[in-house]
């Protein structure tokens, strides 16, 4: 018997975690879920560079050099500090020591997220931008979704930290995005993906807030 699940982080597949048994058996949904949780923890450990060894496979992705390709708007050369729109979030502890405390952290972060979304919605209404208003309305709908929060709380109860629960739900959303043919639904799922990034930044305190000014010589 064979059971395998992808080791993925934020929709990026890093590998496959497999268990096998010489005896014939049918793996249950609980077995699959447990293996997915282990795979998620392994993905976070890899991001932290927890595995010892040589070669790129053992190096934390955020510690590797990276090449950025941009579209040319004006011929010439530019030199400055690269500013990532969605900076890499590094989670230092993927396992929840106290699930109730993690759920409290998630609730507080989501409360903060809702306030931020409501502020953006109010500002958009003043600008009378109908297209942007539609996006902000979708943001508010997702930010107030009980189902979204419940799914993440269930992941926390399984032993994951709040940040990892958000990432796991985000990975599931990205997987759904890849299968949805309707462009409107894909856009709405993209909104949820962006909202997850905002929630991660609130939980970890990493990344750049919307109000923060750009660094000097930003590219």
Domain map of the chain by residue range? 2-62, 99-204
pLDDT tens-digit series, residues 32-77:
877 877 787 777 677 666 665 555 554 555 555 666 676 777 777 7
Percent over 70 (pLDDT), the chain:
74
Average confidence (pLDDT) over 151-155: 89
Give the per-residue pLDDT at 58: 46
Average confidence (pLDDT) over 167-195: 76
Q: Which of 31-40, 100-109, 174-183 has the highest mean pLDDT?
A: 100-109
pTM passes above 0.75? no
Give the per-residue pLDDT at 68: 63
pLDDT tens-digit series, residues 186-196:
777 777 788 88
Q: Pick the residue with more confidence: 210 or 100?
A: 100
d(CA 125, CA 87): 28
Range list of β-strands (E), the chain: 2-9, 12-20
Q: What share of the chain is helix, strand, coil (3-state, %, to 5)?
A: 55, 10, 35
Strand partners, 17: 5
pLDDT tens-digit series, residues 81-105:
766 666 567 677 778 889 999 999 9
Average pLDDT, the chain: 77
Out of 3.40.50.720, 1.10.274.10, 3.40.50.300, 3.40.50.2300, the CATH code matching 99-204 is: 1.10.274.10
Give the per-residue pLDDT at 11: 62
Give the list of residues 6+ apart from residue 110 with CB closer than 8 angstroms, or none. 143, 149, 199
Q: How many contiguous H segments (helices) and E segments (strands) does the chain have? A: 6, 2
Token output for 68: 């950025």
């Amino acid at each position: 018997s064979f059971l395998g699940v992808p080791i993925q982080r934020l929709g990026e597949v890093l590998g496959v975690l497999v268990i096998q048994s010489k005896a014939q058996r049918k793996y249950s949904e609980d077995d699959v879920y447990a293996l997915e949780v282990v795979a998620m923890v392994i993905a976070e450990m890899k991001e932290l560079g927890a595995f010892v060894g040589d070669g790129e496979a053992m190096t934390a992705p955020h510690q590797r050099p990276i090449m950025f390709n941009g579209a040319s708007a004006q011929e010439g050369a530019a030199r400055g500090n690269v500013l990532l729109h969605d900076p890499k979030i590094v989670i230092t502890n993927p396992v929840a020591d106290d699930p109730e405390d993690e759920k409290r952290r998630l609730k507080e972060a989501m409360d903060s997220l809702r306030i931020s979304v409501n502020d953006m919605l109010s500002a958009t209404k003043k600008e009378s931008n109908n297209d942007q208003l539609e996006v902000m309305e979708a943001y508010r709908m997702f930010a107030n979704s009980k189902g979204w929060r419940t799914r993440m709380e269930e992941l926390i109860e399984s032993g994951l930290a709040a940040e990892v629960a958000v990432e796991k739900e985000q990975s599931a959303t990205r997987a759904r995005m890849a299968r949805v043919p309707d462009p409107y639904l894909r856009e709405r799922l993209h909104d949820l993906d962006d909202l997850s990034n905002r929630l991660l930044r609130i939980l970890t305190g990493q990344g750049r807030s919307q109000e923060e000014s750009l660094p000097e010589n930003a590219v």
